[in-house]
Structure 1
Amino acid sequence: MQNFERRRDRFELFNRMDSPAVNLSFTMDLPDFRPWCKAQGLPPFHVLLCAVLRSILKVENFRYRIFEGEVICIDRLTPSYTVVNQHHDLNFAQFAWSDELREFVARSLVAREEASSMAGLNDTYQGMSPRECKNQVFVTCIPWLDFTSIQHPMASVGSPDIPSLAWGKFRNGANGRLQLPFSVQAHHGFVDGYHIHHLAQTIAAELSELMS
């Protein structure tokens, strides 16, 4: 927590505000990992999800949370994301973390199928303790849209300490690159524009590492 203590004054500044959230949407530039995924028999969304969550764990500012009135730093994540069921209503897929890519993807696919087959809302997250809930990052994918902004719902406007991430439609970039709209919402007491930039760079590096 030494790094947080250096910015505790920034945290206290933003945390006094009615809404301390920073919300930034931008075009993410990545190596085009889709051909590699096809050769490996892996679905691109789930590979990107793995890269994004691994990157969250590597950028400390995205691991800060508020619990029982104090700032903590989590050291693990519970992967979860939105899916669409047969009625075109959203649901939540959630599964246990794995450090191994193929096992991560396999668990993610099982969770997706379970959640997408439910008519009612998947409420497995309600079985989590208040402390376990802090191990989440909220992830949604809107693959049909090349969006330019998004506003995520928050249980408490005054405490947006769990980051919310979203990405949209893939499009071909120049020189074998891939571009997509990407959005990050987080507590401004923890995260500045630089940290969002650093997260984007880390995701690109993580994908390159997976493919190497």
Structure 2
Amino acid sequence: MTPPPDPRAARGLRRFTRTETWVHRSVAWLMGVCVFTGAALYVPQLAEIVGRRRLVVTVHEWSGILVPVPVLLGLASRAFRADAGRLGRFFPHDWRWVGVALRRRRREPSLAGKFNAGQKLYAAFSVGALLVMAGTGVLMWFPRLAPLVWRTGSTFVHDWLALLFAAAITGHVYFAAQDPDARRGLRTGYVPRWWARAEHPLWQPEEPHDPPAGQPTGRHSRTP
């Protein structure tokens, strides 16, 4: 008797857990609010449309403070901690990916594990930028915590880093828009197996994410 097909195989390869998709979605929404309210504070035309500057400031401050909360909650998940560790480690093939990207101005999928070097660099930059912006934002929010020269420097750093971060987010969204299967992975947690083999061939999924015995895995021999 032929066993019934496994629904997990039909959905594809498990790339992210529900916790990871929730963390990403929550951080994305909070960052979107930060970017919009920040723009409303500094772009005169947008400020005129939105109005209520004091409310916009309050929403901007609290959304910025809340950005790390989903990440801290996500650390309770073993899968999230494992992926955070992957994002924080560079391997020789990652440096080769960067070299190829700089020379040819395109990605080199064959040199990617679960996350390629571009994703790792973006994650590292985002964490560092958020920490700096949180620190400078607190000094701006509570001016009595520091002397005037510190507050002036914090405003300068916060504003210019915000512009740089907005540009990085724009690039991140642009590349995501070019890859519907990657977006599907963030939305549903699953990606097609052919996509994983083509874009991240060095990625070896964990056992709980594999299909049942007897079905093809599409695994490759080495994991970074």
Alignment TM class, shorter chain as reference: under 0.3
Higher relative CO (Cα under 8 Å, sequence separation at least 6) belongs to: 1
TM-score (norm 1): 0.25
More strand by percentage? 1
TM-score (norm 2): 0.24
More helix by percentage? 2
